[in-house]
Amino acid sequence: MKRIYFVRHGRTGGNEQGLWQTFEQPLSDYGREQAAKVSKRFTNIKVGMIIASDMDRAFETAQIISADIGLEVIPTKLLHEIHRPEDVRGKPKTDEETIKIMNEVEKNWGNKDWKHLDEENFYDLSERVKKALDELLSLPADTIVAVTHEYVLRMVFAVIFFGEQLTPDLFKVVVKRLWAENTGISEFTYDDGKWRMLTWNDHSHLLD
């Protein structure tokens, strides 16, 4: 049986300032505190491998966990956050031009044939997450920590729960209903061809 602990990265300056994040966004000071707290959750668990998005905020979170449990972090692009258009990255979400662009992106979320620029749509993201899950299941360890991002975590949930029935509109419902705190832990198992979700967004380590 595989046991996978999905962890959202710690908070960043982009989170705190309400920006569309860049790939290179590091953790804020508070984000590093969050990562240090979530790291302690794994010191009494026999983790076999750590894999992480190689975006800075996720990889830095994984490295902090790595320092506590003594495992090398394996980077992967498959656990990247959803790719937003290049011309909105690093800009405030309240910027008028950015709002206009993202409204068009949202409007065409389920249109395979439309792109504003270089962003991912529903089909791009769902296929990438399916590949990420396949990659996780192919790893030799039975217990894995996978550090990733909120939007990808929602897609992980959607792909596992809805499978081939998942649609762009159904995923929009998931996004509206499902939330993940920075460094929240979501635990899944995979056994005999079946996924089970044991916990979602456990962030009790932050409640002090």
Rounded CA separation 94/66 (Å): 36
Q: Which two tokens stand for residue 44?
A: 């009494």
* Three-state secondary structure call for residue 196: strand
Fold entry, domain 2-206: Rossmann fold (3.40.50)
Structure letter (DSSP) for residue 4: E
Number of H helices, E strands in the chain: 7, 6
pLDDT (tens place) for every residue of the chain, 208 residues total:
999 999 999 999 989 999 999 999 999 999 999 999 999 999 999 999 999 999 999 999 999 999 999 999 999 999 999 999 999 999 999 999 999 999 999 999 999 999 999 999 999 999 999 999 999 999 999 999 999 999 999 999 999 999 999 999 999 999 999 999 999 999 999 999 999 999 999 999 999 7
Residue 6: name the closest of 43, 55, 58 by CA.
58
Supply 21's token pair. Answer: 């994040």
Q: Whose structure tokens read 């990808």?
A: 152
In the chain, domain spans: 2-206
How much is the pTM?
0.97
